[in-house]
Structure 1
């Protein structure tokens, strides 16, 4: 059963402005689907549509189960000025009704993994961009959602942070979670994604795993970047 199905006929920010159209995708347990496209392709609008944040949308977004169990990791961290890192985690745990006996060891494990234990009682407003991004990652992993929606997760992360993030994400996928990841870093996407949805000018121009994308482009040995460049030329 799909964890997430998206069928957006058209959507935008006002009645007379259509930003995306005919966008369909699905996400199965264990999948990591890369949402790929140049600036202005409609990736961020698609993500907002999935999250129910668009004022104008004709379409359908369905999550498996009665409750929308997803975590969104934005490109720009969203943090509360007056809360420490630990208080951010406590707030997330309270909002999702995570018992304290479960919350505390899980939070401590994640803080250790991302090397933020020593600053857990500090205000994240003083952190670097990479450290703030790690806070968002910790909150999302703490919630253990069935669907992760991730927007440009590698921006600001150092190589070790990227490695830790991908390792933990793979653990979540092994337990049945699915990931929809928007990224411009195509060499990394080619290596880690199980399939791709390629967008341009507000619509989907190709979808499938790398072999299927290569077949659509008639580039049997092409990289994801080479295939994408050819699709853009022909679209």
Structure 2
């Protein structure tokens, strides 16, 4: 089991944003975290990344809790944030070198992966460029390259499609599929529900910091058969009902 979130309660103050939240991501699985703005997706991700301390409950990545071994816990996770976070004083090459050192990767093997990814995302001739020279989409591709050269067990990807062109989206989905085949797991937060429905194995529907429902697309259609036939239709109907309660 790559990720186990068990009865997680947490937030930014004494008032919890997440309320007894439980779900998991199994080995070789792509799970989509879905919810309206304010539903708790970012707070959930921040807790998983170890950026916030839970009020109660546990989070395990590959069987490890962060308080047991901080360094090993974080090396089990690779993160692609919604807004790219790059060091302005480092070139693309230096970002990759820094990632290799942070994850204690084999240099030659990691660079072999990096060259393949750089070619895929059409960045292979930009190794000496600084972040100021990159568009938002290119900066996002740098984050993807740095994440996917690692041997992480869990990849956490936050809204990956919004800044990418259609070709890069297709490339990313192929990379995710390949990582799944290798046994890694992916937790993806996204509002692009049509793509999520097509590619994700399971879905965690969040509302007001709680797991509204967790299951496959078949499960969701059976549970909410009166709401529509697509994930988009079903989720919009659920969201409207919740907002009127």
Query: What TM-score bracket applies, with the shorter chain setting the length?
Result: over 0.9
Contact 2:8 2:54 in 1 (8 A): no
1:116 alignment partner in structure 2? 123
Contact 2:100 2:106 in 1 (8 A): yes
Which structure 2 residue ranges, 5 or more long, are not aligned?
65-71
Q: Deviations over 1:32-75 (max 9, x none)?
A: 00000111111000111111222452110011155321101100
CA distance in 2, matches of 1:233, 1:81: 42
Question: Taking structure 1 as the reference length, what is the TM-score of the superposition?
Answer: 0.94
1:88 alignment partner in structure 2? 95
1:131 match: secondary structure? helix
2:231 alignment partner in structure 1? 224
1:147 alignment partner in structure 2? 154
Contact 1:4 1:28 in 2 (8 A): yes
Question: Taking structure 2 as the reference length, what is the TM-score of the superposition?
Answer: 0.91
Q: Report matched runs for 1:45-60 at 5 Å.
A: 45-60=43-58
Contact 1:13 1:55 in 2 (8 A): no
Q: Report matched runs for 1:51-200 at 5 Å.
A: 51-65=49-63, 67-68=72-73, 69-200=76-207
1:118 match: secondary structure? coil
Contact 1:205 1:231 in 2 (8 A): no
Q: Deviations over 1:10-35 (max 9, x none)?
A: 211111x2111121111111110000
2:68 alignment partner in structure 1? none
Structure 1 residue ranges, 4+ long, deviating more than 4 angstroms after superposition: none
2:27 match: secondary structure? coil
Contact 2:36 2:239 in 1 (8 A): no
Count the aligned residue pairs: 233
Contact 1:151 1:181 in 2 (8 A): yes
Contact 1:89 1:139 in 2 (8 A): yes
Contact 2:110 2:150 in 1 (8 A): no
CA distance in 1, matches of 2:162, 2:125: 23
1:30 alignment partner in structure 2? 28
CA 1:31–1:42: 2 relative to 1, 3 Å: same
Which structure 1 residue ranges, 5 or more long, are not aligned?
none
CA distance in 2, matches of 1:56, 1:178: 23
